[in-house]
Amino acid sequence: MFDKLTGNGNGNKMNMRIHVLEQILSSIETDGSSARVNSLRQVIRRNKADMADDAGKSLDLMRRIFQNEITKELQQIMDRHIRTTFSPAIENLKKNGHVVDQDVINDLYTSILDAAKTPFMRDRTSTMNRDRLNSEKSVKRGYESDESDVSILSQSSEVKRRRGRPRKDEEISLDLSPLTLHEVLKWCPERHLLSTRYIPAAKVAALLSIPVAVFFSKYPRMFRYSCDEEDRAMLMEEKKLSRSAGRCYLMVMDDVTELLGRSPDLEFGAFTLNEHILLKMRSRTAPVFERLKARLPPSAYTFNQ
């Protein structure tokens, strides 16, 4: 999505973040006085007013433009250390019967990058994260209180919501708008392979400076998988997920790219899943897929979506 960022970043009208936020605001049916609408308006005003208004933000915009090139250079540096610094240890491990495949190397790369951040981290980072969490509290309670993995599909932006916690009996059938074959196939269990890449929904929402709940209210049919405690523990052990409060939703990276365009920031944070989590994901997704297929009109199968 940052391919569309041009100029010096000072209020550029081509900025996709503002465009997506304004689309979300216009799609919410309300009298204009709800807390969600007011919060979203504040986010839009802050994005328009605060874009590149200091040295740090200006440099960060420049960093996003060149992130792909920087990432490639970092890759070259780490590859060189694998060939030199770590080569004797790798050969010794192989001689002793250990498997040193690309997954092991990728874990090593992740550890190197995590350790490299330490000298540059300041209190400013924790302050920014705290502010972001506070901004999410007003809208995410309803979504986190529903234990269903597919509850977000019943929270269509076209259905007016009462304030407070969502009812447990709200099902996918509440979203009565027509489905397309393309939307239904997003929930096909067979698309989840060892090579499929995923990204936490929190990172996608953070890129747009909106809460996760607002993102899913705008795109309620986007596939997402709600991680349980076992999933979170595995992903944290594999250093693919950081410890954070609230529920963790995983989205398919290809779906995000299709919606928002290519983003080097998100590409760098994408990861694959182990077979155990994939089996659980397919199992939970299968009944949803069958229910969605049953709602498709016969004519949907005669077109290439």
Instruction: Report residue 72 as tokens.
Output: 């490639």
Cα→Cα distances 289→23, 99, 180, 228, Å: 28, 37, 13, 20
DSSP state of 99: -
Q: pLDDT tens per residue, the chain (305 residues)?
A: 444 444 444 444 446 666 777 777 777 655 556 777 777 777 776 666 555 556 777 787 778 878 888 888 999 999 999 999 999 999 989 998 888 899 889 888 888 888 887 777 765 444 445 555 554 544 444 444 444 444 445 444 444 444 444 433 333 434 557 788 888 999 999 999 999 999 999 999 988 888 998 898 888 889 999 999 999 999 999 999 887 767 899 999 999 999 988 888 888 889 999 999 999 999 999 999 999 888 887 766 654 44
Query: Which residues make Cβ contacts (< 8 Å) with residue 220, sequence separation at least 6?
Result: 152, 153, 154, 155, 156, 157, 175
Q: Where are the domains of the chain?
A: 2-53+122-302
